[in-house]
Structure formats: C-alpha cells, structure tokens
Structure 1
Amino acid sequence: MDNRQAMGSWLSGPRAAIEGAGGELGYRGEQLGLPEEGPGSIARPGRRIGALAVDWTLCLLIANGLITDGYQQATGNWALLIFFVLSALTVGTVGFTPGKRLFGLRVVELGTGRVNPLRALLRSALLCVAVPALVWDRDGRGLHDRLARTVEVRL
C-alpha cells in the first residue's frame, strides 16, 4: 500500500477501509429491517441537520420574542427549554417537529411504527444534552435514538 492509498483509506473512514478489505457491512438500516432507499429508509445526516437547524431557529425566535431584556444567555436557555417542549410534544404526538416535517422526516419506534410519548420525552431530553446525538452507530442512529428505541426515517 502506497501513501496515497493509506491517506485515502484514512480520509474515507473505517467503513471504506472495511469494505476495501473485503468486509460486507450492508446498507444503513438493513439490520433494522428498513428499506435502503425511499420512504421508510434511514434519514440522511444532511436532512437531519437541516431539520434541527430549522427547529433551533424557530425556538430562538420564540425565545427572543419572550425575552426582551437583551440578555443573550437567558435567550439561549429559554430556547433550549422551548426546543425540549417542542420536540417532546410534537414527536410524542405526531412523530415530527416542524423542521422534520419540512425536510420530510419522521421519528418512529422500532417495531410499532409510532412513538410512545415517554420515549419521545426521553429522546428529547437526551437530544438537549447533545452528546448522545453526536455518537452514531453504523446505521446512522444517534445514541439518543438507540436508548429511546426509535429511528428517524424519510416520509
């Protein structure tokens, strides 16, 4: 292996290195029984980040409207609380937030296809902590989804 191959395998990540060595990992969501493409498939990271950006912006606007003293730290704290309530209520009832709906995403519980409100509450609390959302498995699910036994899929 020359330097270019070594650098290329490092840049493309462990999945490419395993597949380059002859290992078969399958597609994202295969182990969960989800389709590879189309409705019901695992949501891609770009859509998920876009939906999160829309939801966070909406929460910041609401918090900014509630807090008019100009203290930015309080606005950020209120936005996080509003985000938690928005996420817990909307995911627990209809399965998506406004941002997820805009990007064509839905949160479903594995096995049932619906989200139990208590699981949505757990998922939202873990999402607000942020660290569980940054740890992903090979299917692209964050730790918050794994612990709540949910998955974010395309509509």
Structure 2
Amino acid sequence: MARWTGEWLPGTGDGAQSTDEGGSRWPGERLGLPESGVGSAASGGSRLLGLIVDLVIAALVTAIFVRPDLQDPVAMQHFNLWSGGVWAVISVVSAGFFGFTPGMGVVGVRVARLDGGTLVGPLRALVRAVLTFVLIPAAVRNADGRSWLDRLTGTVVIRLR
C-alpha cells in the first residue's frame, strides 16, 4: 500500500507505533498530548458542535443585514452566500489571531500549532476555513484526531477544559 495510508488505515502502519494493536493508546499520544483534560486532542463531536455554533452565529449576524425569506429560493441563495462569507471572516479572523472561533470557545477547544508558535496566523486560518468549506478534508481524521486540514497547516485542535 502507499505510504500515506499508514497513518489513516489500521494495520498498514510501519510498525513503529507504541501498542500491541499497532496504534497509539489515545489520540494525540504521538504528538505528546495528554490522554485527557486540558491540552488533549479534541473529539470529533466537539469540533463538529463548534462548527455548527459558528454557522448559527454567522446566520444570525447575516440576518441583521439580509432578510431571509424561506419561501423565496433566490433570496435564500443570497442569504446563504452572505452567511458563508460572514462565517469565513469570523473563522479566519478569530482562529488566526486568537486560536479559536466563537463556536470553539463555546465548546472549549482551540487550534494550536505543532511547531510551538503562539498564533495560528491568518494564512493557516484561511487554509483551514477553505478546507472546512470543502468538508471532506475536515471530516477525515487520523489516529491522533487530526484532520487533513490540521496536517496541511501543522496544527491540532486541543481541549481548553
């Protein structure tokens, strides 16, 4: 099998993992993250809930300026486009400069750089937002709980509490 599948498919690794079954004992162990509590790898459920909260916030902010009309498909398309743009701005600015979006803050997770940098930065946050919009790279995660967008940007989503 191709080498890149070693981290994504069980039983295809290079044998350098730390347990009998060929994988790490908990998500984030290979990255030096604790098993649980503050600083451990965030679950997929908390990441998804944070995204949903961010999307709701973006829709509410958009509704202040653009009137949604459920009976008019053209008006809803216009509303959804603006809402997506608001979501992108909220995601890039807040994750880039603060390390978490409002939704991430609500569920208690944040984005951390693996190289020890203090800020995620706008470029990494923009790449994360674009790949989240595509959805598949954000949904497929490896044994460490990192999605493709985390791997591409050198980040990991960790718990705050």
TM range (shorter): 0.7 to 0.9
1:5 matched residue in structure 2:
none
Question: More helix per residue: 1 or 2?
Answer: 1
> How many aligned positions are there?
137
1:101 matched to 2:101? The reply is: no
Which whole-Å CA distance do the structure 1 matches of 2:121 and 2:30 have between them?
22
- Counterpart AA for 2:44: P
Contact 1:109 1:116 in 2 (8 A): no
Which whole-Å CA distance do the structure 2 matches of 1:67 and 1:79 have between them?
9
Identical positions, percent: 40
Which whole-Å CA distance do the structure 2 matches of 1:87 and 1:140 have between them?
20
Which whole-Å CA distance do the structure 1 matches of 2:154 and 2:141 have between them?
14
**Stretches of 4+ aligned residues off by more than 4 angstroms:** none
- Counterpart AA for 1:62: V
2:58 matched residue in structure 1:
59
Contact 1:40 1:153 in 2 (8 A): yes
Describe how 1:104-123 pairs up with structure 2 within 5 A: 104-114=108-118, 115-123=120-128
Moved more, 25-34 or 69-78: 69-78
After TM superposition, give the deviation of residue 107 of structure 1 in Å. 0.4
- Counterpart AA for 1:57: V
After TM superposition, give the deviation of residue 89 of structure 1 in Å. 0.2
Given the two structures, how large is their TM-score scaled by the length of structure 1?
0.81
1:153 matched residue in structure 2:
158
Given the two structures, how large is their TM-score scaled by the length of structure 2?
0.78
After TM superposition, give the deviation of residue 24 of structure 1 in Å. 3.6
1:41 matched residue in structure 2:
40
Unmatched 5+ stretches in structure 1: 1-13, 16-21
Contact 2:115 2:154 in 1 (8 A): no
1:134 matched to 2:125? The reply is: no
Moved more, 90-99 or 107-116: 107-116
After TM superposition, give the deviation of residue 117 of structure 1 in Å. 2.3
